[in-house]
């Protein structure tokens, strides 16, 4: 009888659904920017799709994400409930800031999204086209101020590549780095800078509201529903896509990594995630496992070459 009861209890336990994991996602930037949006969109979808019952988001801004990355590596080691979002911006920031901590120190899970850069001016600006903006840049590079994300990140790289394509010394550009999208938006809307550069989704609400003018995007061809030329179309050979990723803590087991990947795969395949991508204008650039780790290594090498080329890394 005892054996029968134990067997029945075990069968009941095995029949129960697996408990959903709880997560804390670190966004290594201030509220309002792309990493913050990514973390909070993940939070919403993981919860609404029943993949996780509890998901918290923590913001730790500074130095292109390297402050948050260092804190994450130091405090989250071995904890499978801790995640961090990052991306192309962080690859460059690690190099330009000489960070002692890099993406080799975390456990990459998957690349999630991709987004092209957008160049904007406040609606009150006399600048009507990207050609007019570049004309001013050629005349006096230091007089044209650019608001964007962290030094060495995608925004900074975009401006450097545009300057180089226009025949302007990229080391002469007047780039003002902000740790969060909200701060950069305020500077642009307040006409404290000449122009702004960031992911398209961060500017679209202001463009649609008529408070910003969209001059160009860094896509290889015109984007559906976006009334702006590409830089290539305007005569500047610049194509650039920012990507964002999620990583887990260092020191977790293979089994823990597999469980996290399974949850993120469910999120990526969910209807809620697909709707979020569409509403924000993010491309699904899903890449996971060893393939993502290999691509990450290639991206680091390529980014270092670009940063050297435009004078951001010696």
The string of pLDDT tens digits covering residues 172-185 is: 999 999 876 788 99
In angstroms, rounded to a whole number, what is the distance separating the alpha carbons of residues 63 and 71? 12
Distances (CA, A) of 137 to 129, 153, 267: 13, 20, 43
State residue 288 phi and psi, 5-degree precision: -135, 170
We find that the CATH architecture of domain 21-114+242-310 is 3-Layer(aba) Sandwich (3.40)
Q: The domain 116-217 is classified under which CATH number: 3.40.50.360, 3.40.50.720, 3.40.50.10070, 3.40.190.10? A: 3.40.190.10
Question: Which pLDDT band, with edges at 50, 70 and 90, does 10 fall under?
Answer: very low
Q: What is the structure's pLDDT at 153? A: 87
- Cβ 156 vs Cβ 312: under 8 Å: yes
The Cα 211–Cα 285 span in angstroms is 30
Q: What DSSP character marks residue 21?
A: P
Model's pTM, two decimal places? 0.81
Task: Answer for the pair 106, 26: CB distance below 8 angstroms, yes or no.
Answer: no
Concatenate the DSSP letters of all residues of 149-206 into one string.
SSTTSHHHHHHHHHHHHTT--GGG-EEEE-SSHHHHHHHHHTTSSSEEEEEHHHHHHH
First to last CA, the chain: 76
Is the pLDDT confidence value at 13 over 60?
no
pLDDT category at 152 given cuts 50, 70, 90 is confident
Kindly list the domain boundaries of the chain, sorted by start residue: 21-114+242-310, 116-217
Q: Name the token pair of 177.
A: 């780095």
């Amino acid at each position: 009888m005892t054996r029968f009861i134990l067997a029945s209890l075990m069968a009941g336990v095995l029949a129960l659904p697996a408990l959903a994991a709880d997560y804390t996602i670190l966004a290594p930037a201030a509220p309002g920017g792309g990493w913050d949006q990514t973390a909070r969109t993940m939070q919403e979808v993981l919860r609404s799709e029943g993949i996780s019952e509890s998901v918290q988001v923590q913001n730790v801004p500074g130095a292109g994400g390297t402050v948050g990355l260092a804190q994450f590596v130091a405090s989250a080691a071995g904890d499978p409930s801790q995640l961090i979002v990052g991306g192309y911006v962080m690859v460059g920031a690690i190099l330009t800031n000489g960070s002692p901590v890099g993406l080799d120190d975390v456990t990459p899970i998957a690349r999630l999204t991709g987004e092209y850069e957008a160049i904007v001016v406040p609606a009150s600006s006399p600048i009507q086209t990207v050609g007019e903006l570049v004309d001013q840049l050629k005349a006096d590079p230091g007089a044209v101020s650019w608001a964007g994300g962290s030094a060495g990140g995608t925004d900074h790289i975009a401006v450097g590549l545009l300057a180089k394509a226009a025949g302007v010394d990229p080391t002469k550009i007047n780039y003002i780095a902000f740790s969060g999208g909200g701060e950069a938006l305020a500077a642009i809307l307040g006409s404290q800078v000449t122009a702004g550069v960031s992911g398209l989704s961060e500017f679209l609400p202001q463009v649609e509201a008529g408070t910003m003018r969209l001059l160009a995007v860094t896509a290889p061809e015109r984007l559906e529903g976006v009334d702006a030329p590409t830089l290539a179309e305007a005569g500047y050979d610049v194509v650039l896509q920012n990507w964002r990723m999620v990583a887990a803590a260092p020191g977790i087991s293979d089994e823990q990594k597999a469980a996290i990947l399974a949850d993120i795969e469910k999120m990526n395949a969910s209807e809620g995630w697909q709707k979020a991508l569409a509403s924000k204008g993010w491309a699904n650039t899903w890449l996971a496992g060893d393939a993502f780790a290999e691509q990450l290594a290639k991206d680091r090498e390529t980014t270092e070459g670009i940063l050297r080329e435009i004078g951001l890394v010696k």
